[in-house]
A and B are shown apart, each in its own frame.
Chain A
Amino acid sequence: MKISANFIATRGGFTLDIDTAFSAGTVTAILGPNGSGKSTLLRALAGLQNVDSGEIVFGDRVVNAAPSVHVPPQDRSVGVVFQDYALFPHLSVAENIAFGPRSLGTSKKDAQAKSRVQMNLLGISELADRKPSEISGGQAQRVALARALATQPEILLLDEPLAALDAQTRESVRTELDGQIKAFAGCVVFVTHDPFDAMLLADRVIVLENGVITQEGTPGELAARPATDYVATLMGVNLIRGRAQAGLLHVDGGGVLQIPERSLEGEVLAVLRPEAISLHLNKPEGSARNVWEGTVTGLAPMHDRIRVSVQATPPVIATITHAALADLNLAVGASIWVSAKTLNIEAFRK
C-alpha cells in the first residue's frame, strides 16, 4: 500500500504544508527540529488531526479530504506508538495489548490469544500481568509496539520512539526496533529529532523545517548533499553557498574557493567535511589551493576530537585531535589559517 499526503494543516497558528508519499516495505523517518511540525504530520496520518485543505489517501481510500471527508483514527488501520508510550495505567500489559483487538470486535478469548502472540513475538510474555508502572522504559517501548501491532495495522506510526529512554537503554532498544520495524510489511513512518535514529533506522528521510519539507532522500544522500544548514549541521559538515564559475566558487558573504567541478555554473551548494580542513598558525605553503585566514570563535570537545569554530570568509567548523590542539595552542580569539584541498570540496547544484 502507498500513502500519499498532500495537505495543509494548521494547529494553533502553526501551518504544516506537506506533499509527499510513503510506500509499503519502506521505513521513513521524519527528521526535524522541535516545533517543525513532525508530530502534527504524524497526527494527521493517524487521523488525530484534521487537515485544512488537500487530502490524505491510503491506497485507493481517501481517508481525509478537506472539508468533508475525515475517517476517524479507529477506522484507519494505523498502529501508533506514542511518545512516552501512553500505555493505559489501569490495565495490565496483557490487557493493554488486547485493548485494540477488543475494540475492533474480537471476542475476549481471541483478543487474549492475540495479546499472547504479540507478547511472545516481542519477548515480553513474563510481563503479562504487570501494570505499566511496574516495567522499565525499554519494556514499555516493547509493550507499546506490541499494542500497536496487535490490531494488525497496515501502517505503523512511531512518535519519537526512543526519546523517552536513557542513553544506555536506547542503544539496545534501537537495535531491537530496527529488526521489528524491518519485519513489518506495511508502511512505517517514524518521527525523530535525532539524526542518528534517522540514519540507522530509516530507508528514507524526510526533513521537516518550519512546517515544510526541505529535503527528502536516503540517509546517504542527506549526508553527501545536505540541502539546508539544519541538515548540514546534523550531518556535521560545512555547507557553503555561492555561485560557481569556471572552477571557482564565489561564496555568498565573501571568499572564493577552488572547486574540482569546472563545468558547474550558477547557484550551488558545497560540502566541506570538518575533518578535511587543516588549521595552521602561519600561512601554510603546500598543495592545498584554498587557504584563508580567520579567528577562532569556539572550541567544543566531542568524543575523541575537538570541534573548532572559525569566523572567516567563509566561516567553517574544523575537527582536530587533542594533540593538534596542544601543538597549535588554540584559544578562543586566536587568529588562525584555514586550508582545504580542492578535491575535498564537493559542490553540487541546489
Chain B
Amino acid sequence: MALVFLMVPLIALIAQTPWEAFPKIISSPEALEALRLSLLTSLAATALAAVFGIPMAWLLAREVLPFTGLMRALVIVPLLLPPVVSGVALLEALGRRGLVGGFLYDNFDITFPFTTIGVVIATTFVAMPFLIITLEGGFRSLHQRYEDAAATLGAGPKRIFFRVTMPMVAPAAIAGLVLCWARALGEFGATITFAGNFPGVTQTMPLAVYTALESDRSVAVALSLVLLVVSVGVLVALRGRYLQTRAS
C-alpha cells in the first residue's frame, strides 16, 4: 500500500508529460534560465556547505568542542524547520532591516534578499545539515587509530586530514555532498521567502514549476519531470547506500 501510495503520483507525472511539447518547453528561454540558475545556485550552495560543513562535521564527530550535543542539535534544526520558516528567519537575520543584514546594508550597501546570492544563502542554510549529519557519521565510524598512526609517522594535522581522514571517509563525503546538492536543487520554501521569485535572478527550477502551474500546467509537468530524473540520478549515484538490504 505504502509503495503504491508513493509510486502512483510519480507514474502519473510521467504519464501526464506532454512528450511532443517536451523539447520545446525544456528549451524555452525561461526553462533554460531556471535550469541554469538552479544548477549554479545548488552547486554554489554545495560548495559553501562543503567549506563550512566538513570542518563542522569533523568537530562534532571528534567532540573536541564543549557542548557538542547542543551544537549537533542546532545543526539539525534547519533540517526540521519548515523551509518557509527558514526563509523568514533568514529575512530577519540578513534582510535590509535584519539583525546582521541591517548593519551590512547601512555600512556597506550589501543586500542579500531577492538576489542570486540570496538564493545560494537560503539553499545552503537548508541543505548544509544533510552534509554535516552524513559526514559526521563517516568521521565517527573512522577509528582514531588511523589518525594516531599518521601522527606517529610524522604527518601534521593538515596532512593527516587530507591524506588519511578525508580519503577514508570518501564514501560518506560523497553521499553527503550528493544529498546536500539534491536538497539544494529542490529547495523552494526558503528560497521564495528569502529571495523571491524573479525570473533570471532568483527563479530556480522549483520556483519555475510553481509559477508555471498558474499559467500552463504542461510546462509545470515537463519541468517537474526534469527534477524527477535528477532525483532518480541521485538514487543511482548513491545506490551503494540505499539499495543494499544490508550494510556492508
Contact = CB atoms under 8 A, between A and B. Distances in A.
A74 B152 CA distance: 5
Given A88-B164, A90-B167, A90-B168, A99 B153 contact: yes
Interface in A31-47: 43, 46-47
In the A-B complex, list the 4 residue pairs whose CB atoms are closest, starting with the nearest.
A100-B153, A103-B154, A103-B155, A73-B151
A73 B156 contact: no
Contact of B153 (A72, A83, A147): A147
Contacts of A99: 150, 153, 155, 163
A84 interface: yes
A151 B150 CA distance: 12
A88 B148 CA distance: 11
A100 B164 CA distance: 12
Contacts of A100: 153-154
User: In which size bucket is the chain A interface?
Assistant: 20 to 34
B237 interface: no
A99 B167 CA distance: 14
A76 B153 CA distance: 9
A117 interface: no
B168 A78 contact: no
B64 to A, nearest CB: 14
B159 interface: yes
A89 interface: yes
B149 A88 contact: yes
Interface in A83-101: 83-84, 86, 88-90, 99-100
Contacts of A48: 148, 151-152
Interface of A: 43, 46-48, 72-76, 78-80, 82-84, 86, 88-90, 99-100, 103-104, 147-148, 151
Given A88-B164, A89-B168, A90-B168, A104 B154 contact: yes
B154 A88 contact: no
A226 to B, nearest CB: 33
A99 B156 CA distance: 12
A48 B148 CA distance: 7
Contacts of B52: none
Contacts, number: 62
A78 B170 CA distance: 29
B145 interface: yes
Contact of A88 (B151, B152, B168): B168
B19 interface: no
Interface residues of B, number: 18
A103 B148 contact: no
B107 to A, nearest CB: 42
A72 B151 contact: yes
A129 to B, nearest CB: 17
A86 B143 CA distance: 9
A253 B148 CA distance: 48
B242 interface: no
B152 A80 contact: yes
B154 A74 contact: yes
Interface string B131-168: 00000000000010110111111111001000110011
Nearest to A99: B153
A84 B149 CA distance: 11
B152 A78 contact: yes
6 contacts: A48-B151, A48-B152, A75-B154, A76-B152, A88-B168, A99-B150
Contacts of B163: 99
A103 B153 contact: yes
Nearest to A90: B167
B156 A74 contact: yes
A46 B164 CA distance: 19
Contact of B159 (A76, A78, A80, A103): A103
A88 B168 CA distance: 8
A73 B155 CA distance: 9
A151 B153 contact: yes
Contacts of A83: 145
A82 B154 contact: no
A316 to B, nearest CB: 43
A100 B154 CA distance: 6
Contacts of A88: 146, 149-150, 164, 168
A43 to B, nearest CB: 8
Contacts of A46: 148, 152
A83 B145 CA distance: 9
A83 B154 CA distance: 19
Contact of B145 (A75, A79, A82): A82
A75 B153 CA distance: 9
B155 to A, nearest CB: 4
B152 A73 contact: yes
Nearest to A106: B154
A76 B151 CA distance: 10
A86 B164 contact: no
A83 B164 CA distance: 18
Contact of A151 (B148, B154, B170): B154
Nearest to A77: B154
A82 B149 contact: yes
A320 to B, nearest CB: 45
B23 to A, nearest CB: 44
Interface string B87-107: 000000000000000000000
Nearest to B149: A86
Nearest to A73: B151
B167 A79 contact: no
